[in-house]
Structure 1
């Protein structure tokens, strides 16, 4: 968790090769809309062309490399580089430049359009990949696609990202947040204040958290999910006392609509279950008391930048939207019950690793039973993928051949169960 050499390998073997989340199509709904991001330390932006097509570009001028898009979002017919005033439309075409005659008759503006990385969209979620040989996005998502479907299908008019975001820095290794996001084991001790608050709102039903049922699941390619009973209410379609009696009928109406559109099995799964999913390497979808998109960009072996967005049904307004926003901010917002707790926990782990007293992180919980929601199967799936991409070949071959630790010499302790603290 502290090695610059390992971090450099991660940049080359993970972030230069995997599909990485960029944004959501709903952020650029109109022709000329654009939004910029930094992905794997690369400046990018995505836009809606005049024809309504989604476009993704490297945020760099083909002339001298300066940033083209210098604000986080907006709407423009033309994006102009401030350095030499080369101008581009939202299709990436070079449409204007001072003194074009100075370049002579052989200069072709078509050769100097904005460059695009490889990009694909699934259910409105936009991903980029810097490896031309990588599999398609749909193949990469594997079982995670099912859970993105559960989010996207919640609204008849589609889902959208609310304007604005939460941004903060955590002084800890990025992999710790990947673990934390699908770690049900920490929920009760770390977030006790939140559960006490919610239990009090429900008539002091404090033991309810211990009665919830759930499971962990590996989704392939390092993705993992934990799914549990949503015992503390979901604005989507599950009433809770803190919503007030006046909200009961409206929330039941949402549930009835979901059942009518999707059938009972899928609708009740949307309404009465909560899901935390990691899409390897650095995207988190929290489909719990609100739908949150969270992405973390490593900035070194001991730091990361985190951005979170709220996602809601496109047509949602009034009390429904207010309940959802309040639930999001109460738990997942920058000053909510959960985010400061998790930040403190991860920074505490990073500080502890510096002592040298912990060589391995134990990930064996639930290894010998059917995976429960607070077990660690889903975390082990993340680390197996990490191992296959970053670690030395003997360990990679172990997983490719399905060998146990005892069948490979000099592999102790088992990487299946433990993770080196200095990785």
Structure 2
């Protein structure tokens, strides 16, 4: 859907450093401004390398409101192209994923290569020599990747991806240690839509304050040792602003680096897995695999649309001002033991799955925020938790305790800078 801007409010009147007006979730003109200035002028995550491992592989997805094809050509180069025929605008691919030699528009048969080049036009003589195929490829976006994460942008003038990720890169490196020595791979996903604004979910990824309340049913479903592990609100964790709207919430500090302190006792819930793995793997590798199965001890938010959340990717896509699509993508070890990847999936289903103990409760909370924000006028949404206790992290960015709203403030600073045109990134 194309979002037309009609007199959006000045974002400075909606957002303050410690609070926001409720209209931040519900103003259609503000949403249209976001879709233009954020989702067309930032690096947007579109895929993981393992989604398109071989030449000819592709997936279809979105950059903001725009349908795109992510493909790997015969030379191995990744392309992100608008899913729109250059003739009469029909989508040229409707499959979610697959492998192909070309993309052929089903309307008039125009055929495009894996790089988007226009290769064939039926009955080309009808154009009387007036058709220049070289000038009519599928529109290619700018593409870059880091650690297997593939990003795209419409804006060819913004700084490169390494600059954009900045202080988030070491955390991505740590997150990818979940391969336990093998590459990380995606292992399927589920997606759903909730009736709320996309920023409500963006806030949630670095919000530890809600965990013991919203996720009490999850905590009741696990053993006492696991309950203690997830009792992190009173722990030594922290939330840190990483710049450019990115942030990290460290919930379990001892699990930040999955390759550190491998001599620590194996948790009770993984002992049966460790015993099974020990038949084919040496003790040190068993411990690395078990650590990887349990996931990292942190959530990493990459503004505006990707969270690397403990043991999965969470991807958001704004559909409308009060509708958001969420994808939860399970990840595992590409080439790792089947029994370990199977347990990763079972843990994913236990919390993130549609019948799990985590996501349904989160979704209910997000829905209530959206509905409640319509009550009254001029009543602020508070963003001030932990503001007075912030210190500076190693890179000089703000750092708060694990239940502080530091991550939310980080995202909203970038939001405001982008919407007001003050953002140089």
Partner of 2:152: 128
The 5 A counterparts of 1:226-305 are 226-229=249-252, 239-245=266-272, 247=274, 250=277, 256-257=284-285, 274-287=297-310, 291-305=311-325
**1:308 pairs with one of 328, 332, 348:** 328
Give the secondary-structure state (helix, strand or coil) at the position aligned to 2:93.
coil
Distance in structure 1 (CA, Å) of the matches to 2:382 and 2:55: 50
**2:50 pairs with one of 17, 26, 32:** 26
Retained in 2: the 8 A contact 1:283–1:293?
A: yes
- Point out the more displaced range, 72-81 or 357-366: 357-366
Distance in structure 2 (CA, Å) of the matches to 1:125 and 1:335: 28
Distance in structure 2 (CA, Å) of the matches to 1:58 and 1:276: 31
| TM score, norm. by length of structure 2 | 0.82
Partner of 2:241: 218
Shift of 1:257: 4.4
Report Cα offsets for 1:103-162 as digits up to 9, x if no partner.
234533222222201111111111111222211111111111112111234433321111
Distance in structure 2 (CA, Å) of the matches to 1:13 and 1:54: 25
Distance in structure 2 (CA, Å) of the matches to 1:349 and 1:299: 17
Shift of 1:209: 4.6
Retained in 2: the 8 A contact 1:227–1:273?
A: no
Retained in 2: the 8 A contact 1:243–1:323?
A: no
Give the secondary-structure state (helix, strand or coil) at the position aligned to 2:315.
strand
Structure 1 residues 301 and 208: CA distance shift in structure 2, 3 A: closer
Retained in 2: the 8 A contact 1:198–1:232?
A: no
Is 1:159 paired with 2:184?
yes
Partner of 1:327: 347
Structure 1 residues 150 and 129: CA distance shift in structure 2, 3 A: same
Is 1:60 paired with 2:88?
no
Number of equivalenced pairs? 385
Question: Gaps spanning 5+ residues in structure 1: where?
Answer: 261-266, 398-423
Distance in structure 2 (CA, Å) of the matches to 1:207 and 1:142: 29
Structure 1 residues 275 and 203: CA distance shift in structure 2, 3 A: closer
**2:413 pairs with one of 366, 369, 384:** 384
For the aligned residues, what is the CA RMSD?
A: 3.3
Partner of 2:403: 374
- Point out the more displaced range, 340-349 or 132-141: 132-141
Give the secondary-structure state (helix, strand or coil) at the position aligned to 2:159.
coil
Shift of 1:302: 1.4
Partner of 2:22: none
Distance in structure 2 (CA, Å) of the matches to 1:234 and 1:197: 27
Structure 1 residues 270 and 277: CA distance shift in structure 2, 3 A: farther
Give the secondary-structure state (helix, strand or coil) at the position aligned to 1:30.
coil
Partner of 1:69: 93
Shift of 1:37: 0.3
Report Cα offsets for 1:272-324 as digits up to 9, x if no partner.
8511111111211112xxx2111111122211111121121211232111111
Structure 1 residues 34 and 205: CA distance shift in structure 2, 3 A: closer
